[in-house]
Amino acid sequence: MNGPSPYDLPRRPRPGDGRPRSPFIPLLLGALMGMGIFYLFNRRAPAPVDATPRAVAARGDLAADEKATIALFSEASPSVVYITSLARRSTGWFDVMEVPQGTGTGFIWDRSGHVVTNFHVIKDADDAEVTLSDQSAWKARLVGAAPDKDLAVLRIEAKAEALRPLLLGTSRDLQVGQKVFAIGNPFGLDQTLTTGVVSALGRRIQSDTGRQIEGVIQTD
C-alpha cells in the first residue's frame, strides 16, 4: 500500500536531527592525543642510579670481655645436650610406638656417658633420647634420680671421644653481681647463650615433690 497509513503516528524529530553536531568533542580528543604524543617524546629519562659499591669498614678488635665470653661458649657448648623424653603409645592390638612427651637440656658429666639433667624433664617418661652437639642421637636410660632436688642422671652408650664433659666449678664463693652465662639447647638445633648476673644467693624454691630446695642461686 502506497502512501502514509492513517494509523501511522507522526514521527517526532530526534534531538539533533537536522542540527550541526558540536565540534567540541573531536577537538577535545585531538588535544588529548596531542598532549600524550608530546609527553611521550619529550619526557625526561630517569636520573641514573649510582650503583658504585661502598667500602666495608673493618670491624676492629673485640673487647676483652667479648673475647672471654666467646671463648667460654666455645669451650662449654659442646658439653650441652638436648633431651627428649618419650612415652609409649599403643597404636593397635600388638603395635606400640614412642612419641615425644617433653624436652629439656642437660650436660655431659663424664666420658662414661653420664648426663645430668632436671628430674622434671624425664618425669613419667618411659624412655629418653639424648642429642649431642654433633646432632647424633642416643637412647638413654635412667641410672639415678633425686626428685627432691629436681636432679636426674641418664646414661648413653656413645663413644668416649664424642663426649665432652663440662668443666666443673664451685659456688661457695659466688657474689651477687657476678656475671652468669646460661648455655642451653631448647630446640635441639644448636646451643644458645644467655647472659646475666647473680641477683641473689641462698634462695629457696619448691621441687615437683613439694620439698624445699635450699641454697638456690637466683639469676636475673
Contact 176, 198 (CB under 8 A): yes
pTM of the model: 0.68
Cβ neighbours for 109, distance < 8 A, ≥ 6 positions apart? 115, 116, 153, 165, 166
pLDDT higher than 80, residue 15: no
Q: What share of the chain is helix, strand, coil (3-state, %, to 5)?
A: 20, 35, 45
89-145: pLDDT as tens digits: 656 555 555 555 678 899 999 999 999 999 988 888 888 999 999 999 999 999 999
Q: Can you tell me the distance from the alpha carbon of 153 to that of 142, in angstroms, rounded to the nearest whole number?
A: 6
Q: Per DSSP, which regions of the chain are E strands?
A: 80-90, 96-108, 114-117, 127-131, 137-146, 151-155, 179-184, 192-206, 212-219
Give 156's pLDDT tier (boundaries 50, 70, 90).
very high
The amino acid at 42: N
pLDDT above 90 (res 178)? yes
Residue 28 Cα distances to 11, 21, 36, angstroms: 33, 14, 12
Q: What is the pLDDT of residues 38-90, one digit of tens each?
A: 666 666 667 778 788 889 998 889 999 999 999 999 999 999 999 998 876 65
With bands split at pLDDT 50, 70 and 90, how would you rate the model's confidence at 7?
very low
Nearest-angstrom CA–CA distance, 117 and 133:
16
Type of residue at 21: R
**Burial degree of 217 (CB within 10 A; 0-12, 13-18, 19+):** middle
Handedness of CA 11, 13, 14, 19 (dihedral sign): positive
Burial class (CB in 10 A: 0-12, 13-18, 19+), 28: exposed
Model pLDDT, residue 92? 57
Please determine, for residue 217, whether its predicted confidence score (pLDDT) is greater than 70: yes
